[in-house]
Structures are given as structure tokens and as C-alpha cells.
Amino acid sequence: MRTLDIGGDKDLPYFPIDEANPFLGWRGIRVTLDHPEVLMVQLRAMLRASQGLDNLQVLLPMVTNVSEVDDALRLLERAISELGEEGVSVARPRVGVMIEVPATLYQLEALARRVDFFSVGSNDLTQYLLAVDRNNPRVAELYDACHPAVLSALSRLAVESRELGVPASVCGELAGDPAGALLLMGMGFEALSMNAPSLPKVRAAVRRVSLEAAQQLVEDTLLLDCPWRCVVIWTTAWESGNWVTCCRRRIELTRRSRAVIHGVRESRLSPARCPVGRSAARRCRNDRCCAIRARWWLACRSRCR
């Protein structure tokens, strides 16, 4: 269970927060540490609800400093102690932190000594790494979870968390995209959090692709050191038992990436067979629909028709 995570794009009508830049302001754990009485009520309620189950996991959002985790852990111990004095015996829950502020990427070792798991918030981590407000239409085009910097950060995090012996999961839009899920699987993340409608297509993609092929996908993708416009935008669908991949915008590959990918095939997509609907099919027909024919796409049996 996540502690109160308000601010930014998460508003509460009865707890208004008026700031010029809410994404960089008072939000997440910053709010609850300034109002420990609110956090204590939450922690006590969580602990009471877990009595006899012993399966509670507490997640701390928007962590920037190790000291914030220390303060939250002290409040947790206090809540456990108070409940014990009231005759309510509860086990100490597992505690984790959200990895969504870039500063935490450089404090993983210190955090690992204090918490039991990491949960990567890919949406916020992406916007903070790229300095892009994803809700601002003027710069929304720059927001891309497949940006080389974001993928590199996620890959390093997966490696370091394994070395530290701390399990890491990923939530956000990237985890709910089939190609993104394959990337995360290849990086070594074993748990993904997504909304219910994304589950069938992600599950189907993961079942059809081996771990070795996903690892090759990561290796090839991380070699694309060009900006976001050089990254493929995937839209996947299930049609007649085959995976169909349609790129919604053209791929601009550098010479280096062309050498890595071993070739690019361009073809026109028939509107009748477009898996993303008639309007998207018309766009595919008017623009050239590109598909990378690399080893990892062959393993996925993806092709552009």
C-alpha cells in the first residue's frame, strides 16, 4: 500500500495544493512528513488491516533523500509500538521506496540498507530525467519513456538492484506497453504494474518471446544513442493469431543504428489489415510504415504488412 501520494497531477478536493510548479513542489512524502499526524493515521490503518495476514508492504512515494526514509521508518515503528500498547499485535511490514526522482538512482546502496524493495515510477522518472512536463502540450512531444537516457537509467537500476539483493518492480505507461514490457523483462525486472486493459496484450507478448530474445532486444535498443525521434513507437495488436507491429511515425535511424539493426524494411499498410483502426490505417497508408527487421523482432514474429 502506498502512503498518501498527492501533488503534481494527483489532486484532492479537500486538500488543495496551489503551486506554480506542482511537479517540483510539495508532493508525496514531503506532504506526509510535514503532516506526520496524517501519515500516522494511514500507517495505523494499514497495520490494523494487515493483522493476522502479515502480507503488508508499505510504499513511500516521491523520495528524494535517505533522511526522508529514516523519518518515515521512525513513524512506522512508533505506529507499531502504539498498536502494541493497545493490545493489537502486528508484524513489521516490508517497506519500499518509489524510484521516481533521479537523485534516488545515485543512492540505491544507502536505500537498500533501509528498505526491502524498490518500485520504479516510470512516468515521473521519465519527466524528471527529460525535464518535461508531460501535461504541457507545448513540450509533451519531448516526453518519451523510450528515450535512450531513460532506458539506460532503468537498465542500470535493474543491474544494481540485483547486485544489492533488493527486488525491483516497474509501474507506469512503459510497463503497460507490450514492447516496453519486453524491454523491462530483458533488463531483469520480474514484476510489472499496469492497468487491467493492458494485461492481455502484455501477457501475450511476454509468453511469445523468450528471455534471451528480450535481452537481445535490450542490447540492441541501448545502442541507439540518438534522440527520442530515432526510437520506434510501437502499437501492437493480436490479429489472426499473429503479432502485427505498426509504427505510427517514421523511424529516423543514424548510421550507427542502421549498422546495428541490420536493415530496415518499408512497406505500405493496407487499411483493411491495420490493427489500430481505420483512422490509424489511413495515416499508415499516407505515411510510410516502417518496421525494423532485427533479430529481436524476428523472435517476436513481428512484421509490417
* pLDDT tens profile 165-210: 999 999 988 899 888 898 999 999 989 999 999 999 899 888 888 8
Flag whether pLDDT at 302 surpasses 80. Answer: no
Residue 8 CB partners (closer than 8 Å, separation 6+)? 22, 23, 27, 124
Read off the pTM.
0.72
Percentage of residues in the chain having pLDDT higher than 70: 67
Where residue 297 falls among pLDDT bands split at 50, 70, 90?
very low
Classify the C-alpha dihedral 166-167-171-176 as positive or negative: positive
* Distance, C-alpha 28 to centroid of its chain: 17
227: which DSSP letter? -
Where residue 118 falls among pLDDT bands split at 50, 70, 90?
very high
Residue pair 260/219 in contact (Cβ under 8 Å)? The answer is no
Name the amino acid, one letter, at 193. S
Element (H, E) at 138: none
Residue pair 169/115 in contact (Cβ under 8 Å)? The answer is no
Using alpha carbons, list the distances in angstroms from residue 212 to 232, 268, 298, 299: 21, 31, 13, 10
Residue pair 266/246 in contact (Cβ under 8 Å)? The answer is no
Where residue 142 falls among pLDDT bands split at 50, 70, 90?
confident
Percentage of residues in the chain having pLDDT higher than 90: 44
Q: What is the pLDDT of residue 216?
A: 83
Flag whether pLDDT at 99 surpasses 90. Answer: yes
- Name which of 37, 106, 25, 93 is nearest 65 in CA terms: 106
Question: Counting every residue, how long is the chain?
Answer: 305
**Range list of β-strands (E), 112-224:** 117-121, 168-171, 191-193
Q: What is the pLDDT of residue 102?
A: 95
Q: What is the pLDDT of residue 253?
A: 36
Looking up cell 479537500 gives 14
DSSP percent split of the chain into helix, strand, coil, nearest 5: 50, 15, 40
Question: What is the distance between the alpha carbons of residues 141 and 132, in angstroms, rounded to a whole number?
Answer: 9
Flag whether pLDDT at 39 surpasses 80. Answer: yes
Q: What is the pLDDT of residues 226-244, one digit of tens each?
A: 534 334 433 333 333 333 3
Q: Please report, for the chain, the start and end positions of each structural domain, with discontinuous segments joined by +.
A: 1-98
